[in-house]
Amino acid sequence: MSFAESCNFEKLNNNNYKQWKFNIKMQLLNLGLIEFFDKQEPVLDAEATKADKQNFELRKAKAFCTACLSIDENLKSIVYNIDSPVAALQEIENVFEPRSRARIGALRSKFLNILFLPSDTMSSYIGKISQAAKDLENAGKVIPDDEIAYQMLANLPRSYDNLVMQLYQLDDKNFTSLNVQKSLLAEYDRVTVREKSEARPKEPAVFSIESDVARKKNSTKEFKERRKCFFCGTVGHIRKNCWKFKNANKMPTHQQRKPPTFKQDGLSNPAVFYASAYCTQSMDIEFVIDSAATEHFVNDINLFTNFQKLSSSASMAEGTTNILGKGDVSLEIIDKVSLLLKNVLHAPKMARNFISLRKFDLAHYSIFVKNFKMIIKTPRNRLFLTVPLIDKFYIIKANAIKMQNGSAAYISDKDSIELWHARFGHLNMQGLKDFSKSNNTYGFENLKGNVDKCDTCCLTKSTTASFPNIDQIRTQHVLELVHMDIWRPAPVKSLGGAEYFYSIIDDYSRYAVVYFLKHKNEAFECFKAYKQAMERLTNRKIKRVRSDNGTEFSADYFEQYLINEGIKVERNNTYSPEMNGVAERYNRTIIEGVRALLHERVNFPKIYGLNL
């Protein structure tokens, strides 16, 4: 058999090394020369005869010839100076699979980013992960078996979440890539069989041997079982029997209702509702969501929270209708969603109330229609409202906040001090009264009354309370409390390369020690040196340390060391350096002194560490 007849696979090129490596291995195995595929050169026994040696050299030459002739002409220069099949295969491997950190990094990134694509089967997905792990092993980086198992579970579809959680409960002995692979393949086969059985068409009637009555009975039962609810999408019932549909259209009881909140464009409106005592809720108000309406329409004037009279008309499908005014309508939808409709037109002759879908689109809301439901999402892609299809319309049922006398919701006297307090940016009461009594005002002279409590002022004018001064030292002995802090990088490094200084101050004696640091992570070793020196000097133990939340102090190894030594840690609150005032004051004192020295000594080096 010629080589061309036996070697019927593609020659090695720049793009097919993995496939070629497998093919050449199979070719050498077929020719009985597989021992030359190993990375170590086979060696004859010392007692081999001359005939054995000749046969070995012949087999070696045949293996070398097979490997070289399966290489493309453009790549044969790789093996020009090689006369051994093992050395030739090793040199080719070094070219296409070099062992370097750059290649390991690329292969590792590929390993971690393998996804389960819609076109993948479970076998192909697991195969890609296994091959990527094998490539890393060939490059010199062995991936632990449990890491392979974790990667198999990392990027699965959500339908596998229950199985993933079950596999995460396995102990270390059973959590292996082989067990995970078996479980995933079994689950994939189960889901595939179920989907195929559900998609299988019915058998033709010509093959049926049932009677007409039995066939009709069975077909009716099967039809009922296969019916799909147009509201929730579940198979087995219809919409009128759906409990989700009934609950969605059930008006909440008086105890379940919450006070309405007002929102506009998805953002809460903190406006004060002055006329809440004059308001009432109207029940079972229906609003049709209309994609053709350019404005909101309401036929009941009592639904408006404020109203402005107009005299115009609007074009409708059946003609025109009179518009008597416009205003705002506040709604509390049955699933506790609050909605404020702005610039709603009052059309008393309309049979229904309409909400314009165009207004939602202008406010950057997303609208989807699926399974006889309209889904509305906020500009941040959060679910805002789900509207069911009722009698061929998408209808919202809501509670509308309306005025008993039909007047505006923001009722207030023109001389109300609360109103003018808000108009003048929540000016203080005395200043507002003095301003109204002056001759420079018009329209709100002689304001009377007072605002007992303004929630807006309490919220927006609050300030951080100052920390009280401590007149005496509260500790009784040295090392009961130690203050620590690190001063920021100096503008100029010291002669030794330090740019930080680490100050440790004893609370009782105010004895301070300063360490110069090149890097912040050196603080841990400095603290251990300070602890050992001070405890030996005073024959006492450090009980508490107080510092900020810097990473050099809150590192795991630092905190674990303090726990092991029985030292209590006190951290100051975020953005509250006053809580560590002893260390902050000490740092300020010495830095001010250093700056004074630098300013006075014009020709002295501007090095903070040297002057300190």
DSSP 277-302: GGEEEEEEEEEEEESS-SS-EES-GG
Residues 365 and 289 in one domain: yes
**CB hemisphere CA count around 451 (13 angstroms):** 22
Give me 326's structure tokens. Answer: 């416009």
Residues 394 and 423 in one domain: no
- Of 340, 347, 336, nearest in space to 401 by CA: 340
For residues 116 and 153, is the Cβ–Cβ distance under 8 A? Answer: no
What pLDDT sits at residue 502? 93
| Residue 198 located in a structural domain | no
**Mean per-residue pLDDT, 258-278:** 36
| Residue 371 located in a structural domain | yes
| Residue 304 located in a structural domain | yes
Residues 72 and 105 in one domain: no
For residues 367 and 373, is the Cβ–Cβ distance under 8 A? Answer: no
Give me 350's structure tokens. Answer: 């309309």
Q: H or E stretch including 197?
A: helix 177-199
Distance CA 534, CA 425 (A): 58
* Domain closes at, from 171, 189, 207: 189
- The H-assigned helical ranges of 35-121 are 50-69, 85-96, 101-112
First to last CA, the chain: 89
Could you identify the residue written with the tokens 């006492």? 540
CATH number at residue 581: 3.30.420.10
What is the Cα 126 distance to its own chain's centre?
27
| Residue 39 located in a structural domain | yes
| Residue 339 located in a structural domain | yes
What crossing angle do the helices spanning 161-168 and 145-154 adopt, rounded to 10°? 160
Provide the domain limits for residue 76.
Answer: 16-43+51-97
What is the Cα 486 distance to its own chain's centre?
34
* Domain closes at, from 143, 166, 189: 189
What pLDDT sits at residue 482? 95
Bridge partners (DSSP) listed for residue 515: 502
pLDDT higher than 80, residue 5: no
Give me 597's structure tokens. Answer: 């020295």
CATH number at residue 395: 2.40.70.10
Residues 124 and 156 in one domain: yes
Residues 78 and 28 in one domain: yes
pLDDT higher than 80, residue 338: no
Distance CA 224, CA 113 (A): 45
pTM: 0.31
Question: By mean pLDDT, which of 43-47, 200-204, 501-505, 587-591 is the weakest?
Answer: 200-204
Cα dihedral 596, 602, 607, 611 in deg (nearest 10): -50
- The H-assigned helical ranges of 113-158 are 122-138, 145-154
Alpha-carbon distances, residue 118 vs 129, 156, 162, 541 (angstroms): 16, 10, 19, 64
| Residue 216 located in a structural domain | no
Residues 337 and 434 in one domain: no
Q: Which of 196-210, 310-324, 458-472 has the highest mean pLDDT?
A: 458-472
Residues 289 and 377 in one domain: yes
Model confidence over 374-419: pLDDT tens digits? Answer: 888 888 788 888 888 887 888 888 877 654 443 333 333 444 677 7
What pLDDT sits at residue 481? 95
Question: 103-138 in b/e burial notation, b at 16+ Cβ within 10 A?
Answer: beeebbeebeebebeeeeebeebbebbeebbebbee
**Mean per-residue pLDDT, 409-431:** 66
Distance CA 480, CA 543 (A): 5
Distance CA 497, CA 421 (A): 60
Residues 32 and 140 in one domain: no
- Of 317, 279, 277, nearest in space to 297 by CA: 317
Model confidence over 25-59: pLDDT tens digits? Answer: 888 888 888 877 776 777 777 778 888 888 888 88
Distance CA 588, CA 487 (A): 9
| Residue 247 located in a structural domain | no
| Residue 235 located in a structural domain | no
Residues 170 and 115 in one domain: yes
Distance CA 402, CA 411 (A): 13
What is the domain count for the chain?
Answer: 5
Distance CA 491, CA 92 (A): 55
Beta strand pairing status for 366-370 and 353-356?
A: unpaired
Residues 444 and 551 in one domain: no
Residues 183 and 92 in one domain: no
Residues 73 and 157 in one domain: no
**Mean per-residue pLDDT, 110-135:** 87
